[in-house]
Structure 1
Amino acid sequence: MVIVGLSRNRDTLESVKTAVGLAGGLGIKEGSTVLIRPNANTADPAPGSTNPEVLRGAIREVKRCNPGKIIVAEKSMSPLNTEEVLNRLGLWQVAEAEGVDEILTFDHMIREHVEPGKAYSWPWGFDVPEFLKSIDYTIALPVIKTHWTATFTMGLKSQISITADRDRRQLPHGQGMDVLFGNMIAESNLVYKPDFYISDATKCFVTDGPNIGTLREPGIILASPDVIANDTTGLALLKTLGTVPKIQMNSVWAQPQIKRAVELGLGVRSKEEVTVKGSGVEEINEIIANLA
């Protein structure tokens, strides 16, 4: 059984702390090298990217575990300069102010080529930063929102940030390509998959996305060590807000990203394996019902 923690508090830092606690805590071993990956694909502010206060909260939760080193790193879409994007969003400044050990970008890192055996939708594999070998524990900070061609972008899709520009050009952007896109997203999680997800639903796009769309402000933080539990709960939350037909009219388990992730054994396999705990989330029963 996997727990997803949901918290709504006027203080985003308190929401992060509470959601992580409800989910059972981070469980980071003392002295570990910890990587935190915010969403900074473009310089569009939240929900186009991670709310800087969510990053601040994540850093503070990691510090409670007495890590040996904290690194914040991300890669923006090509041809953007990730350092510039992080600065424009205020994420770089938050990381500096919170005293992390390093702030990096994946833009020009040495990469290794990987061809996971079950990544059938990536016939030529993809390239990932070699430095990921040195990481003991990774936390992703995805945003809960819709995506114009992948249908949604959450924990599973956040993994695309470790791939290279030429790999991203393989992604089938275009209407009607959501099945192949979903399979590729799930399969990218076969290497260096994050250990924990602190998902930002302080603001969400419920149509279009990932950088523009119809805005809702649920003011919620989700936390879970399981990417499928995270994403299905995020989809269930979007349903309570009123979202695009592909999400609203279908089971969360029918989404291509989720179906392929379940096939690959990336996390939970059904609603029965997910427990949702909430604090300050009045609509929690509706969210749980939408997990069907």
Structure 2
Amino acid sequence: MSLSIVIVAVNARMFKFKTSGIINPVKSLIPDGEKMEDKPKINKSKVYIIKTDDRNQGIPQLMKNFSLNDWSGDNIALKANYNSSDDHPAPTHIETLKNIVSQLIINKTGKISLAERSGMGDTRDVLEKKGVFSLSEELGKEFAAELGEKRENKEKHEQTEKKVVEGKNLVKAFEIVVLNELGASNWRKISGSGNHWMKGFYLPELIFESDRIVETCCLKTHRFGGHFTLSLKNFVGWVAKKVPGGIYDYMVELHVSPFQRQMIAEINQHFQTDMIIMDAIKGFVTQGPEKGQEIEPNLLLASYDRVAMDAVGVAILRSHGVKSPVGKGDIFQQAQLKRAAELKIGASSADEIELINLNNVSKEDINEIKSILRT
């Protein structure tokens, strides 16, 4: 049996002080009109590495690095990768989603909302085919007591005893928000000022109302102009294609623009991420995002920092023979990463990423990643 390698990158968080003097992590919301570039420079991003052949073992162990006790009661906006209904590594592996949601519930977070918009298929149909609705019901049964307690604490005016009965009064582990089905009032306009979007773009209000943002993404190249689709690119699935009542197609603009890769980074300047887990047990080194030459790096990655995450992801793609343009030049000159670094979304060079070995990952593996990052 081959072992998977799991990488967790933890970036030092920005902090704020309550009047009690207790230090608490800044939550996900960036105030309206404020950008990531208005925030203090983040510190060096630490990348923790651990080997495993099991998502069910690896993901919970990695999530212990995120101080989830501090997340108690926090509402979570969750972004997975359900752009299409193809097999993994095109979309999020169902076991990855299951483990992330399970750990959030175990750590007593508040409401979990998975928000998705598919670019290569009907979103609701894609989620149905990939088992996402069924998973919410399955975990609802498994964690009925924990989820019932949440409702009791939140809805004291209602009867709080919850029973899971097939087809009736079923507790769901997480809400599934099909973004294509939202009304116009559920979208927030982001100005095009200072970025490459001609008319700006729209993000769902849900993410600004949440306390934390959690993402899980895949390891893939992107043949439609993105060059690679990792954590930054995955958030394109939170941008409205069209706003109800409007005719303008924001995805057409994105995909025909010569500035597509810069525009991808610019989406990300309006919110912070609190946890990102990349499932790179498999990946694509050609074509993408829904098909391509499959590789098996046997890696999982996690980070607070989208730029550090994607830089390491590109290094992994290069270690498995990806060709240009992803395989050529300084990693931090890749347009997505260069623009994201300019906007101070995350690390701006390989020197700001620290790799830390958590178990028996070989020194040679770490040295290879370090070497490629500096190429």
**TM-score between the two structures when normalised by the length of structure 2:** 0.71
Choose which of 35, 43, 46 in structure 2 pairs with 1:3. 46
Q: Could you tell me which residue of structure 2 aligns to residue 45 of structure 1?
A: 87
Partner of 1:227: 306
Structure 2 alignment gaps of length 5 or more: 1-43, 141-172, 242-248
User: Do the aligned partners of residues 4 and 124 (structure 1) sit closer, same or farther apart at CA in structure 2, a change above 3 Å counting?
Assistant: same
CA distance, structure 2, for counterparts of residue 152 and residue 162 of structure 1: 17
Please state if 1:30 is matched with 2:103: no
**2:332 match: secondary structure:** helix
Q: CA RMSD of the aligned region, Å?
A: 2.0
Q: Say if 1:42 and 1:77, in contact at 8 Å, map to a contact too.
A: yes
Q: Which residue of 1 aligns with 2:154?
A: none
Q: Which of 60, 63, 67 is matched with 1:17 structurally? A: 60
Question: What is the distance in 2 between the residues matched to 1:252 and 1:29?
Answer: 33
Determine whether 1:104 maps to 2:104: no
> For residues 62-98 of structure 1, what are the alpha-carbon distances to aligned partners after superposition, in whole Å with 9 as ceiling and x for unaligned?
22431121122211116x3212101212233223322
Q: CA deviation at 1:140?
A: 1.0
Partner of residue 237 from structure 1, selected from 316, 338, 344: 316
In 1, distance between residues paired with 2:297 and 2:361?
9
Cα deviation for residue 158 of structure 1 reads 1.1
Shift of 1:247: 2.2
Q: Where do residues 55-134 of structure 1 align in structure 2 (5 Å cutoff)?
A: 55-77=97-119, 80-99=121-140, 100-109=173-182, 110-115=186-191, 117-118=193-194, 120-134=195-209
Amino acid of the residue matched to residue 134 of structure 2?
Answer: Q
Tell me the matched-pair count: 285
Query: For the residues of structure 2 that align with 1:170 and 1:27, how far apart are their CA atoms?
Result: 42
Residue number among 193, 205, 213 corresponding to 1:138 in the alignment: 213
What SS is found at the alignment partner of 1:277? Answer: strand
Conservation of the 8 A alpha-carbon contact between 1:6 and 1:223: no
d(CA) in 2 for partners of 1:184 and 1:171? Answer: 7
Distance 2:55 2:188 in 1: 37
| CA distance, structure 1, for counterparts of residue 254 and residue 192 of structure 2 | 17
Partner SS for 1:247 = coil
Q: d(CA) in 1 for partners of 2:92 and 2:102?
A: 16
Measured at CA, do residues 95 and 203 of structure 1 come closer, stay the same or move farther in structure 2, by a change above 3 Å?
Answer: farther
User: Which of 327, 338, 352 pairs up with 1:273?
Assistant: 352
Counterparts of 1:77 and 1:216, CA distance in 2: 23
Deviation string 1:162-218 (CA, Å, 9 cap, x unpaired) is: 1111211211348xx4xx111000001122343221111011001111111110112
Detail structure 1 runs of 4+ shifted over 6 Å in the superposition: none
**The structure with more radius of gyration:** 2
Which segment drifts farther, 69-78 or 181-190?
69-78
Matches within 5 A, 1:200-219: 200-219=279-298
Structure 1: give runs of 5+ residues left out of the alignment: none
> Is the aligned partner of 1:168 residue 2:251?
yes
**Identical columns (%):** 29
